[in-house]
Homo-oligomer: A and B are copies of this chain.
Amino acid sequence: MTPPAAIEVKAITDTAGVTVPDPLAAPIKSNEIYGRRRKTEKSQWGVAAPANSFNFRHYSYEDKPKAKRWDHRITPEALNRKGNSLKEAAKYLGKSGLISLGGGLPSSEYFPFDSLSLKVPSVGHFTEPETQTSGVILTAGKHDLVQDKSIFDIATAFNYGQGTGSAQLLRWIVEHTEMVHRPQYQDWKCTMSIGSTSALDMAFRMLTRPGDVILSEEYTFSAAVETARPMGVRVAGVSVDEEGLLPSSLNDILSTWDEKIRGARKPFLLYTVPTGQNPTGATQSLERRKAIYALAQKHDLIIIEDEPYYFLQMQPYTGPNTPDVPPPASHAEFLQSLVPSYLSFDTDGRVMRLDSFSKVLAPGSRIGWVTASEQLVSCYQKHADVSTQGPSGISQLVVWKLLDEHWGHEGYLDWLIHIRMAYTQRRDIILAACEKYLPKSIVSWKPPMAGMFHWLKIEYKKHPQASSKTIEELEEQIFLKVIDHGAMIMRGSWFYASHEEEHDALFFRATYAAAPGEKIEEAIRRVGEALRGEFGLEQ
C-alpha cells in the first residue's frame, strides 16, 4: 500500500501567509497556493471547530464595495433564527487547561472505524480501466491529526461538525471559488450545503413567503417548482431562447406587474441555471448575463445562480465530419474558456450561487456549497445548524483527501478538463445520431454548449391529429410511442415553470450523460423511427 499522501502534503500546508499578487496565475501552474495559505492554529482543524471563509481567502477585498443588506427580503423565519445558545459556551473553550464537560460529543473511541482508504486516479490517468491499474491509494487514519500525519482524520471528520462544513474542506472550496470566480465585493463567504436541492429548499424558506411568485426559465428544473409550490410559492416562467432567459421577457413581467391582477407582490427572486440549463440545455452568454444582471439591479432582484453544470461546459461544436477542437492548452486557457459566472461580476452581493460536486465528482457525496454575502450565508448557516447540519463528515473526508491532499487545485482542474472532453464526446455522439436519424422536417435543436441535456423541438402542428388534440395529449402520445420503440426521453411539459401559462411549443429532453455511446445512438435511431411513425412520414 502506498504511503498516505498526507505525508507529502503536510510540508506545504500551514506555512506563513503571503499576500498573493495573482493567485489565478500561480496556483493553476502548480499547487503553490498551498505555500501561501495563512498559518493557522492546529485547533482550527479540531472536532466541530468553527470555520470562517474570511480566513481562507488569498486576495484582499478592502477596495471593493460591501454587499447590499437584504433585511427587507429575508423572511421572519430566517430573521428570527438566533444562534444556538450552547455555542455561547464555545468561547470559553480556548481557556488554557479547561476541562469541558459541556458539549455532548461522543468520544472517537466509540467510532468503529480505524482507517479509511481510497483508490483514486492519479493526475493524467483518468480513464477507466486505466484508473484501476494506475490508481493511488489515499489513507485516513483515526488519529492522524493528533499524530501530526494530516490535518483531517476519522476522529475529527466522523464526529459532529458545524453547519458550514469542516474548516479543512471549506478552505479548499473558498480557494477554488476565488480562483474560478474572483468575487467583486468585500464580504462574500462560502458555506457548505448538503447538495443544491437542499440549498434551494433552504433559500426559499429564507427569501419567500406563502403567496409569493418567483421567476425562472419557462422550462425549469422540476424539483425547484416542486419545492416551491407546497410552500405556497408559485413560479412565473420567463421566456427563453437558445441563450436562455430573455431580458425583454423578464423586464416585461416585472415592469407590468400588477399585484391585484397577479395576486402577489412583485417578484424579487430569480432562480436560474445559467449554464447548460435543465431541461433546455441553454447557456447564457456573458452579454446575456450582464443584461439580466442590469435588470436585477433595476428591479432589485436576488439571483439564485444554480450551477451544477458549470464545469460541463464543452468544446465548441464543429459539426459532423470536421476535426475536433483541441483541448485547452493550459489551465489558464481552460478557465478563460468558461462563461463568467454571475458571481464573478456581482458588485451588489445580490447573487446567491449554488455549486455542487454532484456532476463533477459524485452525486452520492451530497456536498455542495453556497457563495453569497455574509448576511445571506449567515442566515443559511444558522438554519443548517438546526436542520441539515453540514455534509456527511465521511463524505467530506473522502473529498478532501482527493482534492486537497492528493490532486490539489491543479489536479482538479486537470480532472475538470478530462470531464469536459468526455462530455464533448458524448454530446457529439448524440448530435451525430440526431443528424443521422431524426426527421428534420419535424424536429429541430441547437447543439448544447454545456450540461447534460439535449432539447428537441417537435413541430407538433404537423402532427396528423394536431387540430383535434392538445399539445400535452400529443406529447403523451409521442412519449408512449417512443417507449414502444424501446427508448425513453422526457416530456417537456414535466418542466413547465407554471401550468397556468400557455405553451405553444412541444419539446422533449434527451440526456447524453448516462448511457454508453452506442446506446445513445441506438436510442436516437428508435426515437426517429417512432416520430416518423407518429407523424406518418416515410421510414
Contact = CB atoms under 8 A, between A and B. Distances in A.
A413 to B, nearest CB: 13
Contacts of A364: 157-161, 392-394, 396-397
Contact of A365 (B103, B158, B194, B512): B158
A157 B490 CA distance: 24
Contacts of A2: none
B110 A120 contact: no
Interface residues of A, number: 115
A422 B195 contact: no
Interface stretch (A19-27, A36-44, A227-235, A243-251): A227-235
A159 B101 contact: no
Interface stretch (A64-72, A78-86, A183-191): A78-86
B512 A223 contact: no
Nearest to A520: B101
Interface stretch (A9-17, A127-135, A257-265, A284-292): A127-135
B386 A226 contact: yes
Interface in A57-104: 76-78, 80-82, 84-86, 88-89, 92-93, 95, 97-104
A332 interface: no
A284 to B, nearest CB: 19
A116 interface: yes
A116 B114 contact: no
A160 B358 CA distance: 8
Nearest to A403: B112
Contacts of A92: 483, 488
Interface string A514-539: 11100110111010000000000000
B109 A422 contact: yes
A482 to B, nearest CB: 10
Contacts of A227: 386-387
A488 B100 contact: yes
A104 B361 contact: no
B120 A523 contact: no
A485 to B, nearest CB: 10
A126 interface: yes
A32 interface: no
Nearest to A101: B510
**Residue of A1, A126, A396, A488 with most chain B CB atoms under a 10 A cut-off:** A488
Given A394-B365, A514-B105, A226 B82 contact: yes
A393 B238 CA distance: 35
A120 B115 CA distance: 7
Contact of A363 (B77, B115, B159): B159
Contacts of A389: 194-195, 197-198, 366
A346 to B, nearest CB: 26
**Residue of A104, A107, A520 with most chain B CB atoms under a 10 A cut-off:** A104
Interface string A205-241: 0000000000000000011001101111000000000
Given A99-B526, A119-B113, A389-B198, A362 B158 contact: yes
Contacts of A391: 366, 392
Contacts of A395: 392, 394-395
A426 B92 CA distance: 24
B519 A363 contact: no
Interface string A337-363: 000000000000000000000111111
Given A364-B157, A386-B197, A514-B106, A487 B99 contact: yes
